[in-house]
Amino acid sequence: MSDPISTDTAVTQADDGDIAQIRDAVAALCADFPGEYWRELDRARAYPKDFVEALSQSGFLAALIPEEFGGSGLGLSAASAILEEIHKSGCNGAACHAQMYTMGTL
């Protein structure tokens, strides 16, 4: 039987100051995507390509990817705060959730 892939199962904890900075940065990014952006996407039944690209470029969608693999290495607490702030701002985080947890966008 082959050896399983070794993974670090420890949850990276960010302190409250780091989480606050992450929330502020996500809120600032989300401010560039007002309600009209989302309403137009809804009317056109389109994917939020520009929003996802902005989150990818900022490194927020790579929060759970370790730094040694090109990610942000922020951990689950930070990833949760990112998604919370996206939704709090009125943006749609559905696409972001899939990118962050399943695909690990760099």
Q: Check residue 41 and give its pLDDT.
A: 94
Gap between the Cα atoms of 6 and 3, Å rounded:
8
Gap between the Cα atoms of 82 and 40, Å rounded:
24
Mind listing the domains of the chain with CATH numbers? 16-103 (1.10.540.10)
Query: Does residue 25 have a pLDDT over 90?
Result: yes
Q: Where residue 4 falls among pLDDT bands split at 50, 70, 90?
A: very low
Predicted structure pTM score: 0.78
Q: Check residue 71 and give its pLDDT.
A: 86
